[in-house]
Structure 1
Amino acid sequence: MPKNSLKYAILLVLLGVVAYNSVYFKKLDEVKAAAGPNANQTFDAAAYASTFWSSKLLPAAPGATDLNTLITLLKTDKEKAFATYSHALGIGNIRYFLVKAEGKITAVGDNDVTVTLSSGESIKLATEYIFGNAARDASGLIRITEFDNTMDLNNVSSELNSIIRTKVVPDLKASAKPGSQLNFVGAIELNREHLHLENLEVIPIVVEQRAEGMGQRALEVN
């Protein structure tokens, strides 16, 4: 046999051995068992959001950062404010804060309710455009490792925003009147690199409103 033919034959044999040892088969039941009992289950974003809302986010509301204190610190020491009070699941300049404050309603618009805080700062409670990740990320109570993919993560944001639109906003819009006092807890989104504190918008999570001379009414507590 020519030397070249012998060389090629040996090479083919070696490749065959390598290929044989590189391929193996497992029973389908073994693969499913290794993947775990929830491998074939579809993530239920609505159920997750509902549980998170009632068992984590609302209980965390009383411990939210005072918005007046936060605004003052953002003006004097931005880096400390972000490092101490902000949260986010990803890296970057977009960060979220869970805040609380009290103030007086000064205007009611189609898209928001303007509130003057006790410090004199003016903010807006959103009533129309409830979107983004503020409600999901502001508390810092969700971990990215809980999710298999970004779609599930984004769906949780959508479901939380839906809860706010259906549970919080309708009563706020129906009851908001200029001159009324209210307490609120909400979520805000700020850009650390391009910080703008004018026209600050808050996504409402808990709102307690009272008219002058009347008792306080909780618009969203459950």
Structure 2
Amino acid sequence: MSNLLKYVAGFVLLGLVAYNSVYFKKLDEVKAAGRSGVAKFNVARYAETFWTTKLLPAAPRSATDLATLLPLLKTDQEKAFETHSQALGIGNIRYFLVKGEGTVMAVHENDVAVMLTTGETVHLATEYIFGNAVRDASGLIKITEFDDTADLNNVSANLNDIVRTKVIPSLKTMAKPGKKIAFIGAMELNRAHVHLDELTVIPISIN
């Protein structure tokens, strides 16, 4: 009988040890704990750093002068796109980092019309600042930098916000008919349907 009691006591003790050694957590708690150990990608900081330390310093020397690009687009579109455009993915939508100078001809509700020294007119956007042109036109951002495509898309949104807050107000202030200005900006073109009569540039620098 005493041996039986010893076996029962030992079994109970073993059960208590096993019970205290194993515990369960909700799956959501485990996932949350895993995420908390990884630094969250700071989109706003990335966009601001890219704008300040990469895009603005590189733009003056890497932007293609519209006086060079526009004639090339008229005579050899394939060369113009292959030589001067950028894009993170495949497809017909391509982006150009461009610069130019000219005279303000008109100030519209959504843009400023500028006649270049070569005679062509471009429109500097002041309202509809969207898309990936600012992010992609320089070719300085690589898709391999991002683990999440949502972060990549949010970088575009943040860069567009920077244009709205830091560039557009200055453009609106100085844009008066007859005023001579120089600009650097990002331009989107569809290589399958190139229309040069209504060129719109998102400005990133105005002088």
The TM-score range, normalised by the shorter chain, is 0.7 to 0.9
Structure with a larger share of its residues in helix = 2
- Cα distance, 1:39 vs. partner? 6.3
- DSSP 3-state at the match of 2:80: helix
Aligned to 1:148, the other structure's residue is in SS state: coil
* Structure 1 partner of 2:39: 41
Structure 2: distance between partners of 1:173 and 1:152? 30
Rounded Cα–Cα distance in structure 2 between residues aligned with 1:146 and 1:179: 44
- Alignment-derived partner of residue 139 in structure 1: 138
Q: How far off is 1:191 after superposition?
A: 0.3
Unaligned runs of 5+ in 1: 1-34, 209-222
1:175-190 aligned at under 5 Å gives the runs 175-190=174-189
CA distances 1:166-202 after superposition (whole Å, capped 9, x unpaired): 0000111122100000000000000011111111000
TM-superposed CA distance for 1:118, in Å, is: 0.4
SS in 2 for 1:183: strand
Counterpart CA distance in 2 for 1:93 and 1:150 is 20
SS in 2 for 1:105: strand
Which portions of structure 1, spanning 4 or more consecutive aligned residues, are displaced by more than 3 angstroms? none
Which residue number in structure 2 is paired with residue 53 of structure 1? Answer: 51
**Residue in 2 aligned with 1:150?**
149
Within a 5 Å distance, the mapping from 1:66-77 to structure 2 comes to: 66-77=65-76
* CA shift for structure 1 position 41: 1.8
Secondary structure of 1:142 counterpart:
coil
1:75 counterpart SS class: helix
Quote the RMSD (CA, aligned, Å): 1.5
Measured at CA, do residues 39 and 97 of structure 1 come closer, stay the same or move farther in structure 2, by a change above 3 Å? farther
Q: TM-score, normalised by structure 2?
A: 0.81
Match of 2:23 in 1: none
Corresponding residue for residue 161 of structure 2: 162
Deviations 1:59-113 (A, max 9, x none): 1111210012101001000000000000000100000000000000000011100
In 2, Cα distance between equivalents of 1:111 and 1:162: 16
Separation in structure 2 between the aligned mates of residue 194 and residue 136 of structure 1, nearest angstrom: 22
Aligned-pair identity (%): 66
One-letter amino acid of the structure 2 residue matched with residue 205 of structure 1: I
Normalising to structure 1: TM-score of the pair?
0.76
Alpha-carbon separation, structure 2, partners of 1:191 and 1:107: 26
Q: Which has the higher contact order (CA 8 A, sep 6+)?
A: 2
Q: Which residue of 2 aligns with 1:3?
A: none
Distance 2:168 2:141 in 1: 23
Name the SS for the 2:38 alignment partner. coil
- Number of corresponding residues: 173
How far apart are the structure 2 equivalents of 1:138 and 1:197? 18
